Amino acid sequence: MTAPPADPRRDTLIDYPCAFPIKVMGARQDGFVHAMTELARQHDPGFDAATVELRESSGGKYLSVTIEVYLETREQINALYAAFNAAPEIKLVY
């Protein structure tokens, strides 16, 4: 007896489509938040910048930006993480 083909949508704990928060951290500098929202918009054309949350580090040197994107596929999240990881101004993505 042959097993039915695997459903690639079930290879993850995330139920797509969904709103998905991603947090990035980088040095607190002019343009950082704008650059992060533009990356998000490239992967989610309906991205709403009003969902952005900011938190400054205790010393004020770093800024944490939480961005909520709407994802329909696993490939979208993989591409978004790759874009954030490739951005030189980002120190950490989680």
> Is 25 within 8 Å of 90 (Cβ atoms)?
yes
52 Cβ contact partners less than 8 Å away, ≥ 6 residues apart: 33, 36, 37, 65, 66, 67
Task: Write out pLDDT tens, residues 5-14.
Answer: 555 545 668 8
Helix (H) or strand (E) holding 31: none
Work out the angle at residue 47's Cα, subtended by the Cα atoms of residues 40 and 69, and round it to the nearest 5 degrees. 65
Q: What is the pTM of this model?
A: 0.79
> Is 36 within 8 Å of 93 (Cβ atoms)?
no
* pLDDT value of position 8: 53
Task: Write out pLDDT tens, residues 21-58.
Answer: 999 999 999 999 999 999 999 999 999 999 999 999 99
Q: Strands, DSSP E only, in 47-89?
A: 53-56, 62-71
Residue 59 has pLDDT above 80, yes or no: yes
